[in-house]
Amino acid sequence: MKLKEIAELLKCEILIGEAYLEREVKFAFGSDLMSDVLAYTEEDTVLLTGLCNNQVIRTAEMLDLKSVVFVRGKKPSEDIIEMAKEDDMLLMCTDYSLYAASGILYSHGLEGTEI
Amino acid sequence: MYRLQRDESDLAMMKAFEVSNEDFSSAGTASSKIKKILRQIGMDAGVIRRIAIATYEAEINVAIHSNGGHIEVYIKSDKVDIYVEDTGPGIADINLAMQKGYSTATKEIRELGFGAGMGLPNMEKCCDDFYIESVVDEYTAIKMTFNL
C-alpha cells in the first residue's frame, strides 16, 4: 500500500517527509513497546505507535523503517522530527486510536507482520 | 575494563563507543554511528540491519540496567565481532533472562517503550554466535559474531 493511501485513510497530518508519500509498504505493525517492534518487524513496514519519544525514531532507524504514524493525536517534538529528517523518514500523525487505525488499514488490505 | 578476551586476528577496523547510563534519551547514539560506519564500508544491508538491531538492544540494556559500559566493534574480512561490556548489577540467572518476556525493568522504563523482556533473545536471534557471561554486582559481558 502506498504511504499516500495510508495518509488519506487515517486522515493524517504530515509532520515531515512529504516527498516520500509515493513509497510502498507491505506490512504494518502497531505497538507502544519498541522492544516488540525490534523483535518482530520486517522491512517495508509502516510503524503505528502511541509512544512519542526519540527512541521511536532510533528503533525505526535500526530497522530501516521509513515511515511512522503516531496515533491518538500524539505529536512528537521538533527535535524528534529533526532526527527523522536525517534518515529520510515520513512521519505522520492521526487522531485515530491504535486499534481503529489498524482496523482501517487492515480492512483495506494492509496485512500485519507474521509473528 | 575488558572482561572478554579479544580476538584480533584478521582485524581490518576497530571502533569503540562509551555507553552512559545517565541519559536514556541519548541511548542508541552508538548504534546509530556503528550503522553509519558499516554502511560506508558497503556491507550487505541485511547484515547491517541485524547488527544494528542487536547492538541497539544491547545499548538500551546498558543504558537501562548498568552503571555504564562500552561497545567495541571488530570488523574483519569474513565477520564482525561485537563486544558489549558494562559494570553494574549483573544478571543473577542468565537462563531466565534469555527467556522471552522476562524482564526486571522498572515501570518507568516500560513507559519509555522498553523492558518487554525481548532484548537478550532478540540479540541471540540476530547474530550467528552469541556469548554472555555475568557476575552479580560486578558486570555483564556479551560477544556477538555476525558472519559476512
Average pLDDT over residues A12-16: 98
Sign of the torsion angle spanned by Cα atoms A6, A9, A14, A15: negative
pLDDT of B147 strictly over 90: yes
Task: Note the pLDDT tens digit of each residue in B43-59.
Answer: 999 999 999 999 999 99
Total domains in the fold of chain B = 1
Fold of A3-107: 3.40.1390
Residue B1 lies in a domain: no
Band of residue B23 on the pLDDT scale cut at 50, 70, 90: confident
Inter-residue contact B59 to B31 (CB < 8 Å):
yes
User: B47-72 b/e with 16+ CB inside 10 Å = b?
Assistant: bbbbbbbbbbbbbbbbbbbbeebbbb
Residue B139 lies in a domain: yes
Contact check, Cβ <8 Å, B114/A51: no
Q: State the Cα–Cα distance between residues B75 and B68, nearest whole angstrom.
A: 23
Here the cell at position B16 is 569503540
Here the cell at position A13 is 497530518
Residue B101 lies in a domain: yes
Task: Note the pLDDT tens digit of each residue in B113-145.
Answer: 999 999 999 999 999 999 999 999 999 999 999
Chain B residues interacting with chain A (CB cutoff of 8 angstroms): 24-25, 27-28, 31-32, 35, 45, 49, 52-53, 56-57, 60, 110, 112-119, 121-122, 125
pLDDT of A115 strictly over 90: no
B73 three-class SS:
strand
Distance from CA of B10 to the nearest CA of A (A): 27
- Alpha carbons within 13 angstroms on the beta-carbon side of residue B31 total 29
Band of residue B22 on the pLDDT scale cut at 50, 70, 90: confident
Residue B110 lies in a domain: yes
Task: Note the pLDDT tens digit of each residue in A39-92.
Answer: 999 889 999 999 999 999 999 999 999 999 999 999 999 999 999 999 999 999
Chain A residues interacting with chain B (CB cutoff of 8 angstroms): 32-36, 38-39, 43, 51, 53-56, 58-59, 61-64
The per-residue pLDDT for B49 is 96
Residue B7 lies in a domain: no
* ipTM of the complex, rounded to two decimals: 0.92
The per-residue pLDDT for B48 is 97
Residue B4 lies in a domain: no
Q: What is the span of the domain harbouring residue B17? A: 12-147
List the CATH number of the domain containing B84.
3.30.565.10
Task: Note the pLDDT tens digit of each residue in B75-122.
Answer: 999 999 999 999 999 999 999 999 999 999 999 899 999 999 999 999
Distance from CA of B32 to the nearest CA of A (A): 7
Q: So where are chain A's domains?
A: 3-107
Sign of the torsion angle spanned by Cα atoms B77, B2, B104, B21: negative
Residue B126 lies in a domain: yes
The per-residue pLDDT for A114 is 85
